[in-house]
Copies of this chain bind each other. A is one copy, B any other.
Amino acid sequence: MTTFRQHRWQSFLQGYEQRARILISCPDRPGIVAAVTSFLYEQGANIVESSQYSTDPEGGTFFLRLEFDCPNIAERKEEIEAAFAPIAAEFEMRWQLRLHNDIRRIAIFVSKAEHCLLELLWQWQAGELIADITLVISNHPDLRETVESFGIPYVHIPVTKETKADAEAEQIRLLRDYQIDTIVLARYMQILSPAFVAEFPGRIINIHHSFLPAFIGARPYERAYERGVKLIGATSHYVTDDLDEGPIIEQDVARVDHRHHPDDLKRIGRLIEKTVLARALRWHLEDRVIIHGNKTIVFY
């Protein structure tokens, strides 16, 4: 199956050796787009996708994402970054340039529920999720066999109230060792400490099993059942110190009715959860998501 995946990936990577994207945010003022696109033109680049948004043309924040083809971009990346620095400084930009074929390293955190994990593994295997799933960390041993059958290391780090600080230290050590860029909480049933979150700002993605802000907190399906809602949902968001309050990346819902018991809601919800998480992660990995305060701009 590895061969299969590599074959698929090849079709994703091949032909995109010259493709890169730049992500910019800065105070809005006239001339930003002209400056950036003129610069890229001078570098020989051809823009193939462009998205922008301004919170307010007067005094707001401006966001720009450009995808472009540029000859020898892999070799010239540092040179181009250096040349762009003065423009970035002039407009007070926060910015980032990334090659299309620069695959990011991710770690998945799970507990016992396997559906979100499996969806990511399956999409990864099918060449639909382009990321290096470097590591799976769990506070339970249950999913080891599943994960290892995909050729991915599975690290079991039990977490109790007492051992939580040590467990997180161990997790952070591993994440550093493995040079993890993005952490995906695939129904990981532990709350991360502010210290942990601070280590990976804007790089931890969670899936919450409700249509936030409805049923924030624990047992959302049971509470949805008790309230008698006619739709249930799931929400993927970046993790912040405020539980279930981080910037929302994506949400979706499914219709339910009076016949559905909490177990049915969970079954129906699993499909939404895994779909929403996979979609959010995909956008994140393609640099389509920008965090702005407690919201996201998503250029999909």
Interface residues of A (CB under 8 A from B): 1, 28-35, 37-38, 40-41, 44-54, 57, 69, 114-115, 118, 122, 126, 128, 145-146, 149, 211-215, 227-231, 233, 247-253, 257-259, 267, 270-271, 275, 292, 294-298
**A30–B267 Cα gap in the complex (Å)?**
30
Residue of B nearest to A4 (CB): B142
Q: Separation in Å of the A209 CB from the closest CB of chain B?
A: 15
- Do B229 and A251 touch across chains, with their CB atoms under 8 A apart? yes
**A211–B227 Cα gap in the complex (Å)?**
12
**A51–B233 Cα gap in the complex (Å)?**
27
Given A48-B54, A50-B51, A227-B248, 5 more pairs with CB closer than 8 A: A1-B145, A53-B259, A118-B122, A213-B215, A228-B248
**A233–B214 Cα gap in the complex (Å)?**
12
- Do A47 and B69 touch across chains, with their CB atoms under 8 A apart? no
**A62–B248 Cα gap in the complex (Å)?**
33
Q: Separation in Å of the A73 CB from the closest CB of chain B?
A: 13
Residue of B nearest to A42 (CB): B34
Q: Assembly of this chain: how many copies?
A: 4
Q: Separation in Å of the A165 CB from the closest CB of chain B?
A: 31
Q: Separation in Å of the A292 CB from the closest CB of chain B?
A: 8
- Do B30 and A44 touch across chains, with their CB atoms under 8 A apart? yes
Name which of A149, A213, A233, A251 has the most chain B CB atoms within 10 A of its CB.
A213
- Do A230 and B257 touch across chains, with their CB atoms under 8 A apart? no
Q: Separation in Å of the A282 CB from the closest CB of chain B?
A: 10
**Using Cβ atoms and an 8 Å threshold, which residues of chain B touch A115?**
126
Residue of B nearest to A127 (CB): B267
**A207–B45 Cα gap in the complex (Å)?**
41
Q: Separation in Å of the A161 CB from the closest CB of chain B?
A: 28
**Using Cβ atoms and an 8 Å threshold, which residues of chain B touch A295?**
227-228, 258
Residue of B nearest to A291 (CB): B228
- Do A229 and B258 touch across chains, with their CB atoms under 8 A apart? no
- Do B1 and A28 touch across chains, with their CB atoms under 8 A apart? no
Residue of B nearest to A294 (CB): B228
From B122, B229, B297, A212 is in contact (CB under 8 Å) with B229
- Do A34 and B31 touch across chains, with their CB atoms under 8 A apart? no
If A33-B33, A53-B259 touch, does A248 touch B233 (CB 8 Å cutoff)?
no
**Using Cβ atoms and an 8 Å threshold, which residues of chain B touch A233?**
231
